[in-house]
Structure 1
């Protein structure tokens, strides 16, 4: 497969409307803006709305907005999901959780095991993404942020905005190789879980799997914050139109609805991750 990253990202995006980060240790933050690289499917970062640069641009804007991005109410919302695991799978992938336990070994130390049976039907490539201890970070629904975005069309128009990031303590991703395959994935985490109790060790994670085909990636380093999944939004064209005086102020819900999920910039992909020639031909006739 020529572009494994694009095929994996495409499969996950079609299953969740969210975008997979092919390199989860790479930082992707709420408020980032940029575009998607067509050949690889990866996010091409250009800036962040919380940066000092944007704060300076606000001061120079003709709209003279007095918005302090350090205001806690404007900062990204952080939230635990309450679930130990978040599993995403594309069509043609079956998962079965065969063991999930939390067995206390000694005071303040817990052994947590996740064991999954994965099955790929082999008719076409399949993708699966497993996250342990997922945590959400999202852009708050605040009218001041909406006005900030609307005041900077020269910077943000045509750009995708990261509105949500799902981070985790450990991840595993697998892209099948068009072969029927069954294998198991196991995550074990050992370490102190009770604050204030020193058991003489630190927490650690271990992944193990038995995949014979395809491409697998995994991470479980406690010194790294993994970011395997994120959501992209793009304002609709009319978003950039400020309301006329006779219309009055826009309702915040109406403004929020003017940002929609980003679709892949490529056409339907074949099993090798290439765009279908038929689709390219149709697109060529229609637009050129």
Structure 2
């Protein structure tokens, strides 16, 4: 497993969700963004510019809805969907994670867990584990991602590009990457239910808590309820292009079949 924490986190959650988990969800990501992944074989024009860049990271170069390419290839505008219930809690964990019951000792050691309106515990079977939680996320998609096939084959675009075809947006998230020594973690949101759930608002006293002092834990809450964090998105590329085997889905040049999400641990709390 790569030692770089960002790449490790991204690859662990891609294996379970088939989506790109952002290390910095505050960075805006829009459906239609296109760019390149800084990993593996790269076009020669990009090699020098990216020499000191971190590998395995999506770098945006443009957006197909802003540069006219979407209109050129008759790609429909993106649509926003509620992910089951917009007031629910989404949990995504690495393949080596198993959801377990909350241990009483954990609540005793971290009293804030007693006031959590949503919480979960995970046990990691081996290696490093990763967990992402999103509160009240929505999903914006290109409903027929297969229509991107012709665009991805556009000779005016750099070889090996990827396109964002789906984005999760939320007003509150927590992400965790454990160390190899962490075998279990509990994460919760200590808060009351939003007064206006359809707006995605959060309680002013909301706080993310976790049981582990080891590993990398980060959380953010937008107090006005605006969904301005983008913890998870889907990247697509053309199969056979000069791209790395990074966190993306491949569209066959002969087929428009949509790639489906993988297995892994994905829970929704209402």
Aligned counterparts, 1:134-283, within 5 A:
134-141=137-144, 146=148, 149=151, 152-155=154-157, 157-190=159-192, 191-193=194-196, 203-204=203-204, 205-221=206-222, 222-223=225-226, 225-236=228-239, 256-257=256-257
Corresponding position of 1:285? none
Corresponding position of 2:47? none
Paired residues, number: 216
Q: Which of 100, 109, 112 matches 1:96?
A: 100
Corresponding position of 2:136? 133
Aligned partners of 1:174 and 1:215 also within 8 Å: yes
CA shift in 2, pair 1:46/1:66, >3 Å:
closer
Q: Report the Cα offset of residue 138 of structure 1.
A: 0.6
Q: What RMSD in Å do the two structures reach over aligned CA positions?
A: 3.5
CA shift in 2, pair 1:156/1:139, >3 Å:
farther
Q: Report the Cα offset of residue 119 of structure 1.
A: 2.5
Q: Which runs of 4+ in 1 moved over 4 A?
A: 145-148
Aligned counterparts, 1:30-109, within 5 A:
30-38=31-39, 39-51=54-66, 53-54=67-68, 74-83=76-85, 84-96=88-100
Corresponding position of 1:21? 22
**SS of equivalent residue, structure 2 residue 68:** helix
User: Which structure has the greater CA radius of gyration?
Assistant: 1
Q: Report the Cα offset of residue 40 of structure 1.
A: 4.0
Q: Report the Cα offset of residue 47 of structure 1.
A: 0.6
CA shift in 2, pair 1:54/1:220, >3 Å:
same
CA distance in structure 2 between the aligned counterparts of 1:47 and 1:2, rounded to whole angstroms: 30
**SS of equivalent residue, structure 1 residue 213:** coil
**SS of equivalent residue, structure 1 residue 192:** coil
CA distance in structure 1 between the aligned counterparts of 2:26 and 2:155, rounded to whole angstroms: 31
Q: TM-score if structure 2 supplies the norm length?
A: 0.67
Structure number with higher relative contact order (C-alpha < 8 Å, ≥ 6 residues apart): 2
CA shift in 2, pair 1:97/1:44, >3 Å:
farther
Gap runs ≥5 in structure 1: 59-64, 99-110, 239-253, 262-288
CA distance in structure 2 between the aligned counterparts of 1:89 and 1:158, rounded to whole angstroms: 29
